[in-house]
Structure 1
Amino acid sequence: MSPSSSLPPVLFEALYKGERHVAFDRPAPGTPQTLYRVADGQLASAFVGTDGSATAVKTAVTGRAETVTVTADDPEVRPLPPLLPTATGNALLSGFMGTHKKKWGGETAPEGVEFTPPKWFFKGFGDWVRLPGEPLDVPARPVALIEEPEVALVYVNDADGTPHYAGYTFANDLCDIGLHRKDPGYNPYCKLCDTALAPWLFLGPPPRSVNGRVSIVRDGATAWEGSFDCGGDALYFPIQGMVEHLFSFPAVRRPGLVNYVLLGADEASFHDGFRIADGDRVSIDVKSHGVAFENAVRYVSPAPLGASAAGVPAA
């Protein structure tokens, strides 16, 4: 199934020969593409200083920008996570848990009563995000990993800390669900696995329908595959209620902060009895939106801490 022609416009930022640029299209490989030179934070400021529409944002950043024409698959074009600031700590990646109707018996949250928010987790700073093709590092001895195809909403806070919605993209929120199930109190540890984020930012409201397929390749052969649905219509909780509750906390409303907010995942390979291994390649094909990305899972064993690093006085 090809993506709907009614999908919203798309943009992405990239480094080209070491300089930051933005493009407002997603052409086929080998076809020409125009890149507009932008400064760090300029695109994010355009979402704050305009009504956030695709036309207004493009006008704000392209008026006097230097341009360069490249092919869409030029190897010198290195995509960036949407709106990611250069400065470490100026973006946060977080998300919601247990959001899908499938996990609530197919029901949706009751209307007309006080909103009860889902559980929330902090994943890391924005520069912890990995792009398609980059390895996803996990601790060397996970209990049971799970891939999680999700919608990621992107917000930019203005100088007063008010969040401005920019658009959405897609993520693989890899985590150790086995550790979480062993003890839900271990969930912060469970989330200390890398997350992949697609570079394409869709300039429209959070999507109601998102569907696709996951394939996990091991030793060159498909070891598991299955479908997923992570659009708003598949969620138990209303997106607006979740977001409003999250942004009621001052900690996520720091001026200039970029927030990547994960909306939760459908059931995946873990629920089918499959276990992800070191070196497996996880491919997520968001068929409804024409976005596909792949990342290899890499088990990592850091060197043990020395006594002084662990806070133990030297003998």
Structure 2
Amino acid sequence: MTVFFECVHRGRRHFGLGKPGDGEPLVLYPLGDDDPLPLVVAAGGDGAALAAALTAGREAVTVPAAERDTVSFRPPLLPRSAGDAMVGGFMQTHNVKVDASTQSQPNWFLKGLGDVLKVSGEDLAVPSSAVALCEEAEVVLVYVTDEQGRPRYAGYTFGNDLTDIGRFKRHAGHLSYAKLCDAAVAPWLFLDAPPQLVEGRVTIERDGRPAWEGDFTTGAKALHYGLDAMVSELFSYEALCHPGRVHYVFIGADRSSFHAGFRMTGGDRVTIEFTSHDVTLSNVVRWPAQATAAPAEG
């Protein structure tokens, strides 16, 4: 399986292939002013073909492990203009959330444009008016829309769809507001079919100490809905399919800390370990005017 990532090294854009381990040197290729999106579309999901096209004529640069702090990672395939990326997803998709009110098609939401995506280590901002927050450990599908307006699947990564679940619990019609929080996303783009099973663990720290921990399961097998049907329905709407647009589609989450009775507050650090795929996201929640945990909302 090929893994693609982008980063900035000494002020210049680079990319790499393969998921580097902690403490290992990075092998990078300069991107210059080139845009990898057309090559992603042309490769048609063939990871080997994409790797060959990307590296052709480029000389690798090795960054020693001791100098990895000179490299800053980026969300995968994020366009130069944040307005050319759309971040959204589906809610209540998992089998564990099925009940009598379950619809034939899950609700879709718009989370924002590309600037809501943050990588591990960056703060996740939420509105000061948020009621009660929850982390949502999810698979994120990435699509690049070609010149004919057809979204082409590029690969998948992992994310945290931070959500104001308290507002949604107060009023189900306020889902659109509840989702307007930043999202964490891993920089690694796995150039393969969406994973069937993903397992992991969430740890929330407060004042440097663990305050809540819990396990989760996600992936295509955990869904109540067929993933292909969900995506086909979404991209049947022409308004979403502007040529050149990159879509980051969150496919839904297992139960969260909120469902276990925990209430997050500003300054909490949320660490999500996707242990089955050796991916970790760790971000501090930036919640203005919130000094204590929000009250429970049922």
State the TM-score, normalizing by the size of structure 1: 0.87
1:102 to 88, 92, 96: 96
3-state SS of 2:202 partner: strand
Contact 2:39-2:54 within 8 A present in 1 as well = yes
Q: Say if 2:50 is the partner of 1:62.
A: no
Deviation at 1:141, TM superposition (A): 3.7
Contact 1:46-1:61 within 8 A present in 2 as well = yes
Q: After the TM superposition, which residues 256-275 of structure 1 pair with which residues of structure 2 at under 5 Å, given as runs?
A: 256-275=244-263
Which structure's CA Rg is the greater one?
1
Deviation at 1:32, TM superposition (A): 2.8
- The aligned length equals 287
Cα deviations across residues 128-181 of structure 1 (Å, max 9, x unaligned)?
211111111112242111100000000001111111111100110001101001
Q: Which amino acid aligns with 1:167?
A: G
3-state SS of 2:244 partner: coil
Aligned to 1:50: 43
Aligned to 1:32: 25
Contact 1:167-1:202 within 8 A present in 2 as well = yes
1:296 to 284, 288, 291: 284
Contact 1:40-1:85 within 8 A present in 2 as well = no
Contact 1:144-1:178 within 8 A present in 2 as well = yes
State the TM-score, normalizing by the size of structure 2: 0.92
Q: List alignment gaps of at least 5 residues for structure 2.
A: 290-298
Percent of paired sites with the same residue:
47
Q: Say if 2:75 is the partner of 1:81.
A: yes
Contact 1:279-1:298 within 8 A present in 2 as well = yes
More displaced stretch, 285-294 vs 36-45: 36-45
Q: Which amino acid aligns with 1:99?
A: T
Q: Which amino acid aligns with 2:80?
A: T
Contact 1:41-1:85 within 8 A present in 2 as well = no
Deviation at 1:186, TM superposition (A): 1.3
Q: Say if 2:15 is the partner of 1:22.
A: yes
| Compared CA separation, residues 41 and 98, structure 1 to 2 (3 A) | farther
Q: After the TM superposition, which residues 85-164 of structure 1 pair with which residues of structure 2 at under 5 Å, given as runs?
A: 85-104=79-98, 116-164=104-152
Aligned to 1:165: 153
Contact 2:29-2:58 within 8 A present in 1 as well = yes
Superposed CA RMSD in Å reads 1.7
Distance 1:71 1:116 in 2: 52
Deviation at 1:41, TM superposition (A): 6.1
3-state SS of 1:57 partner: helix
Contact 1:46-1:52 within 8 A present in 2 as well = no
Aligned to 2:183: 195
